[in-house]
Amino acid sequence: MTDFAWTREQFHIPLGLIYLDGNSLGPLPKSTPARLERMLSEEWGEHLIGGWNTCGWMEMPMRLGDRLGRLIGAAPGQTVVGDTLSIKVFQALAAALQLRPERRVILSDRGNFPSDLYMAEGLIRLLGDRHELRLVAPHELEDAITDEVAALLVTEVDYRTGRRHDVAALTAKAHEMGALAIWDLAHSAGAVPVDVTAGKADFAVGCTYKYINAGPGAPAFIYIAPEHAEEADPALAGWLGHASPFAFEQGYRPGEGIERMRVGTPPVLQMAALDAALDIWDKVDMAKLRRRSLDLTALMIDEVETHCPGLRLATPRDGTARGSQVSFRSEHGYAIMQALIDLGVVGDFRAPDILRFGITPLYIGEAEIHEAVEVLARILRGALWDQPKYQRRKRVT
């Protein structure tokens, strides 16, 4: 059983702040500083380069991959941690195309996160412009899966609206048509129950700095279904994905299974932070978290629609069709969000008009929802957003 009073106490939230942006960057677990200090002073400080052997640094990507695997329904040995999400998207997509050499279409939707699409565009250029990135509206994805498609690249939860794809159904259609399915779990892992095994995902990727709370720049992860693990070509063939890295052979031989998706030297400091965050997740039941998330997101929708009639709901009203965020539209969205942040309620803005609120039950409850909406309503009633300081666009929105 998940004790949300206990999980709330595991995070540092600055006094007086309501933090509704854990879908962009999770807050600091209180245990992380001590874990990093131990890594710095006791491991790096005392063991120096010997830490790769004596402190288990080299094994961290696989060990942490197994811990993350529990949150996405993967068996041990099927997930590895490292690099960035964009790199893992590139690896998964390149491997999928190599497994379907006779096909030329990568299918995704127009609502997908731009970086995923940029990776696809770059890969297409590298492959001599022989492939096509085909984009359709999110609700048209299933019908667009034809026998031309090599790979379906789909983000389960839309980063702007929170709309949740039925990735298992899309994957079933992809397999029926002979295509492979890549799931981007950036807004799913740690937010909603995920089961890559039952859903028969061919590849899955995700990040750890959002709902997982591993810190800014925390490493990504990649999963490969066991039937592809010994065939997948990693494309970015780094030395730690080699079958025998310290043999320093001139030619590349892929490592066993998921280990071939390792690229460069593991970011040990960030992995130590991830290790600390996963100690909290070890005590979280995803089904209970999901029920709590649905209650809180429904409350947020009801409260905003009652007290802030000028905002338009962008997130599906049906709980089964949304992730763990709530989004609203307003032509003044950026300025409204800046005013909210100035008054101690932190969400974020996504172009062109989305106010986005991450509802994370590990440290958010009904009281924070009510107070946040009260502040939002006050801003709208008094047009407090209509000040020059709230109109100026910052580099990070």
Catalytic residues: 113, 184, 209-210, 356
State whether residue 158 is helix, strand or coil.
coil
8 Å CB contact between 144 and 110: no
Beta carbons of 367 and 298 less than 8 angstroms apart: no
Q: Tell me the C-alpha distance between 23 and 180, whole Å.
A: 27
Which 3 state secondary structure label does DSSP give 375? helix
What is the C-alpha to C-alpha distance for residues 24 and 162, in angstroms, rounded to an integer? 12
HSE-CB at 20 with a 13 A cutoff on CA atoms is: 33
Which residues lie closer than 8 Å to 218 by C-beta, 6 or more apart? 207, 208, 209, 212, 270, 273, 274
* Token output for 60: 């961290």
Report the alpha-carbon distance of residue 279 to residue 193 in Å, rounded.
18
In whole angstroms, what is the distance from residue 108 CA to residue 183 CA? Answer: 11
Query: Which three-class secondary structure state does DSSP give residue 133?
Result: strand
Total residues found in the chain within this entry? 397
